[in-house]
Structure 1
């Protein structure tokens, strides 16, 4: 079971909403987006340490170079201390003090008036006191106050007013935050004043009820003064000498350690949120552009979710390999280690996409991946440019793949392109000659070889997982050592050679109209494999004059011929041939009329029962240009072979007649061939047959040579005898 089958099987176990193709496609896109963003912007292999306050240091860390820096933590602490030394600023309102005094005087005056009223008894005076005192007092206290001396009340009033005035006008006055403390101090002063319990309780309640803030916080002025104090603080500088220990192994990390480590450049900072967000937006933009192109130019790829999954897997794999390379440290030569971005095998993506899907799409994928490599290496344009040029070289080197060794040759082309690109970029950036030559030769060559190895190794896996028939797979199937072709050669040798000729014809025709020449050739090799089951029922395999069809009816002969198509499909599926080849086998006769046996049946038909549809192949008609070209090549080859000693004129006329008959019979209605294509195919067929049936010199046979040689010997003897005489 391939990867694609596993995904489909897992999808059947999900709820119906997740089985929707749109939902699954959106989920895959989100997965791809997140992982690619993480690969590009997150350092999974940090070259610097990650430490936190309170953590024990795993090793001793020293300053790599002498550096003077501002200790921002201590500077900030000094600034905060200066700000805290600035007191809170208040706006004083004297009218509040006046109002509080007047309210105290008003209450105390009411108490005096009640005490001085001789016309009222004690109970009536108590009721009068309740009217003027704004709070409740115990009954015994009210009775005592009602019988109290007005002079004593006046004295208490005077002293209480003086105490309240001093409390409210001292310092910056009474603010909201110190109101409770002020009341507490006044209450303590009242207790110490030596008044009677009734006057003490009256005075304390007056303070607790009437006292309120007369100073109000001015936030703006306070902040201005504090900021001015902070600005006057001189930044605190700190110097680390080269080799100076910053923190020892096992020491507990403090904030001061972190400041020094960060200043020395050995502390791994967290990835900023803005960087992650920006990278994600870039990936979204590039993904959207690629998907828009695929949907517009290659709807057959866009409609196949498996192909989109495959693109994502290829990109994530190569970017993951690139991430490991970029993180690789070369301790003996750190300058060389900083150039490891040149080794990212961008060309592998281009080669795989060009072989498996499309040449132009491969170029776009290379450009996108080169941009992501530039971002991944710290927004370094050098690595993006080298990746772009090397990737394009890889795409062009496999654009006309004809054999598997071309993949190895493509790796060499990529290596050369990388070396040239690295040298060019190094000259522009003024890199030292030693580093330039070393990085170009080592990293450029390694990149090319790695790209070739990755492409070659991944092809079988991707082909089987996503059911793609690549040119490499077809080239393998064209090898004569393939089991099915060996069976065809041994069991039906005439059909085998017929298939080879059809392959030559079909390839020439496909090349003339821009069809897939490799698919056409391989399809031609396998189009008649169904004849293996009954080889001697086909004339090219009959070594004697005896023909089995002479002993059976035309109808049965038609069934035998029809069966070779079904048998071919069964053989193809048994040997796991690609679906494209199976389609060619099934369509290479279309619904053509088996003319010979149809006319033979008509001659034997005495009751007029013969129907034309009973003598046609079951089809379907050719659905692609490749299947149609093989149909024409198959029919033309058989027709020309039946003509003894054909002339070029006969061959050309026969080719055009076959094509015209197929067109008139509707066999070419469902394939994408136009009249111009048919003309080009006919011309290409003619060139191939001209090479096969070219004019040859007639050489005398061996007996004629011996006869002439004996005659020459007799004449030579006669001439010798005359001379001696």
Structure 2
């Protein structure tokens, strides 16, 4: 029988979780559920549910209130044009400076002097007429004779023309009064070199009339010439004078247009929620412009870009959650985790979209207080949704869930960065506070710190977009309602999640820890020895869990139920035999091994039947790992050798596994083996207990049973110390009572003689094989 049965090879079910994680794909069903939920939420985001706006023209009487559905910047065209004209008027005009005027005057004067020098006395009248024509002025003959004098010509050439050249090079206008209209000054541009200078004061510029007067003063005061000479000089120079500054119309217009084009438009800001026009008011032109601008910004029935954006960003966050957990070797979201998160996203994302669609009618329907419509998204208890997830997810997964929910609900709620910040901060603090709650009463007390965090978050959000103290006060009311709704969400939705998805919350674990539970009561009645063993193991496991910082409640409850499968056949386990005949004496070793391994399968069946939760069921399945039932395997080898048969296969005497996949499962395995084998200790002094624990832990570790549990060497050291404290307390020394001790010693010797041989041997074997309890 033992030689013909086919079993799986050792460790067939004990693959390394890290290797499996690297080789196996991510949980497909949960990931597919999340992707599908993002597709649905993307379609909701693209769907436009805003009410159609009523458009009124100037002069109409509004039949209803029109409220801005978003922030708008509306250009005030009249103010913009007025500002541009003002800036254009301040642009200095461009005047071209003609530097050739002085040289032309000098050339004309020299030509006149040459004509006079070449003319005879008889031709003087003809020359006078000719020069008068050139100068366009009647020149007396006496003045012409003075022009012929060499002293006069020297005066003009050496003194008057240099003075005139200097004055003309600075710029001379025809009428300086016309330049005074340019308040910003003028730009003087040298046409020959394109050099420019800005003259802010036109008083620095000469005009033709002033130039004549200055020339007369120069001749009179500086050169001290008589009136007759001064008049002769002015008669020669005055007809030749022309302005050196010419207004450049084309360049001035071009620059003016350029400056006006650089002027920023003047905008009128409209805030989201602002009432543009009230019912019964006569619409003004300004209100009509705002209504038209708001209508032009109104989205179509479906915005595909917005839908695609939500899907892609949501997908990146989901993939980030999976990849971070894989990289950090944390709890990779299972199919159940993905399905729960998908349901939460759909439920609260759809709620945010519904609230956004109804916020207009809702705000109009509340007559007892004037609540702005954009405060209604604050009522959505996103912190309650993440609080539910905090009961079942590790913190790393909760952080990504918070980020994902805040992003999706903020976008679907029609909000901006402020709404996202409110959702994110309040949801993150809800996770922190609820993670610390161990009982339902502590969960209820979480409302106070959560209320404080929510109010502070709202204060920060309202300061980012301050709309007055009345708006802040109304937001405090909405934030208070948000906290109450979040608490109700956690209390109600957590029970539904436990029932539908099969999660086990810490509150349910506390209920399962009660010794009044029907399954524990049945274990106590049917298998009292196993019941006592489970109590001791639970104490050891709890101490070890607290030492290494894992889930102490889950570990303790799992230890209480880890051997419930022995209820079916309690008499096949020596702790329940109490000196009776051992049933394994009449069974083949292979059959005894089947009986022992069956208690794991039956324990899983009872756990599912009593709805203990998947976490506890997994620990029941893994608490023996793939360890070898060494006693019956050796016994089978001895029988096969005596009969001359083939040696039994080792895999037939191993538990089916898998090996412990979590720290809690590894703790239960260690405590189970140590507690069972510690019963064989004689005179269990603290040093013997310590050596015994170290030996068992070393054996289990060496065998590789803890390879997939993520327990480190440091953890094993802390666990050994915790186990030693518990077992030392159980095996504490008592005061010797001579008479009673003699009687107990005598009774112990009698019981030892009556104990079946293989039971004694199994106790010895338990000290060597960590996976083997006394008579398993």
CA deviation map 1:646-695 (0-9, x unaligned): 21111111111112222344433554444343333222222332444456
Matched, 1:283 2:320: no
How do 1:145-294 residues align onto structure 2 when only pairs under 5 Å count?
A: 244=280, 271-273=298-300, 276-277=303-304, 279-294=306-321
2:325 to 287, 290, 298: 298
Partner of 1:222: none
Q: Check 1:582–1:700 CA distance in 2 against 1; reply closer, same or farther (3 A cut).
A: same
The aligned counterpart of 1:616 is: 653
Counterpart in 2 of 1:388? 424
Taking the TM superposition and a 5 Å limit, the aligned residue runs for 1:132-143 are: none
Q: 35, 44, 58: which one pairs with 1:35?
A: 44
> What root-mean-square deviation, in Å, do the aligned CA atoms of Structure 1 and Structure 2 show?
4.6
8 Å contact from structure 2 (residues 454, 479) kept in 1: yes
Change (3 A) 1:425 1:537: same
How do residues 631-646 of structure 1 correspond to structure 2 at under 5 angstroms?
Answer: 631-643=669-681, 645-646=683-684
Give 3-state SS (helix, strand or coil) of 2:657's partner. coil
Deviations, residues 156-192 of structure 1 (Å, cap 9, x unaligned):
xxxxxxxxxxxxxxxxxxxxxxxxxxxxxxxxxxxxx
Match of residue 548 from structure 1: 582
Q: Which residue of 2 aligns with 1:681?
A: 719
Structure 2 match to 1:417: 453
Q: Distance in 2 between matches of 1:337 and 1:701?
A: 87
Matching residue of 1:659: 697
Mapped pair 1:310 → 2:319: no
Q: Quick one: distance in 2 between partners of 1:654 and 1:670?
A: 24
**Inter-partner Cα distance in structure 2 for 1:644 and 1:683:** 20
Counterparts in 2 of 1:291 and 1:700: CA distance versus 1, 3 Å: same
Q: Which residue of 2 aligns with 1:191?
A: none
CA–CA separation in structure 2 for the residues paired with 1:322 and 1:521: 40
- Asked whether the 8 Å contact 1:591–1:620 carries over to 2, the reply is yes
Q: 1:365 to 1:261 in 2, by over 3 A?
A: farther
Contact 2:601 2:621 in 1 (8 A): yes
Tell whether the 8 Å contact from 1:589 to 1:617 is kept in structure 2 after alignment: no
CA contact (8 A) 1:336 1:439 kept: no
Q: Closer, same or farther in 2 for the Cα pair 1:283/1:612, shift >3 Å?
A: closer
Query: Measured at CA, do residues 23 and 425 of structure 1 come closer, stay the same or move farther in structure 2, by a change above 3 Å?
Result: closer
Change (3 A) 1:427 1:52: closer
Alpha-carbon distance in structure 1 between the residues aligned to 2:277 and 2:473: 35
Q: Which residue of 2 aligns with 1:347?
A: 383
- Superposition pairs for residues 549-588 of structure 1, below 5 Å? 549=583, 552-553=586-587, 555=589, 557-588=592-623
Cα displacement (A) at 1:397: 1.5
Question: Are residues 1:628 and 2:666 paired?
Answer: yes
- Give the Cα–Cα distance (whole angstroms) in 2 for the partners of residues 591 and 23 of structure 1: 33
Q: Equivalents in 2 of 1:241, 1:293: separation in Å?
A: 47
Counterparts in 2 of 1:64 and 1:521: CA distance versus 1, 3 Å: closer
Length-normalised TM-score, structure 2: 0.54
The one-character-per-residue Cα deviations of 1:555-578 (angstroms, maximum 9, x if unpaired) are: 354443333223223323333443
Task: Give the drift of 1:471.
Answer: 4.2
Alpha-carbon distance between aligned partners in 2 of 1:241 and 1:632, rounded to the nearest angstrom: 75
The aligned counterpart of 1:448 is 483
Q: Which position in structure 2 is the counterpart of 1:527?
A: 562
| CA shift in 2, pair 1:23/1:346, >3 Å | closer
Q: Which residue is 2:444 aligned to?
A: 408
Distance 2:277 2:376 in 1: 30
Is 1:369 matched up with 2:378?
Answer: no
Checking the alignment, whether the CA contact within 8 Å between 1:594 and 1:615 is kept in structure 2 is no
Secondary structure of the 2:319 match is helix
Contact 1:344 1:447 in 2 (8 A): yes
Q: CA deviation at 1:392?
A: 1.1
CA distance in 1, matches of 2:637, 2:651: 12
Residues 291 and 302 of structure 1 are in contact (CA less than 8 Å); yes or no, is this contact kept in structure 2? Answer: no
CA distances 1:250-308 after superposition (whole Å, capped 9, x unpaired): xxxxxx99998896799988842599355335413431330231232135987856544
Deviation at 1:354, TM superposition (A): 3.0
Gaps of 5+ in 1: 1-18, 54-58, 73-239, 247-255, 703-725
Describe the superposition over 1:73-106 as per-residue Cα deviations: whole angstroms up to 9, x where unpaired. xxxxxxxxxxxxxxxxxxxxxxxxxxxxxxxxxx
**Bigger relative contact order (CA 8 A; separation at least 6):** 2
CA distance in 1, matches of 2:532, 2:719: 21
CA distance in 2, matches of 1:519, 1:531: 21
Map Cα deviations across residues 178-216 of structure 1 (whole Å, 9 max, x no partner).
xxxxxxxxxxxxxxxxxxxxxxxxxxxxxxxxxxxxxxx
Residues matched between the structures, number: 493
Structure-2 change in CA distance of 1:599 and 1:321 (3 Å)? same
* Kept after mapping to 1: 8 A contact 2:41/2:350: no
Listed one character per residue, the Cα deviations across residues 689-714 of structure 1 (whole Å, up to 9, x for unaligned) are: 24444566789999xxxxxxxxxxxx
Residue by residue, what CA displacement relative to the aligned partner does 1:499-547 show, whole Å, maximum 9, x if unpaired? Answer: 12212222333444454434322321221011111223333334x4324
What's the secondary structure of 2:486's corresponding residue? Answer: helix
Gaps of 5+ in 2: 1-27, 57-61, 69-73, 78-275, 741-776
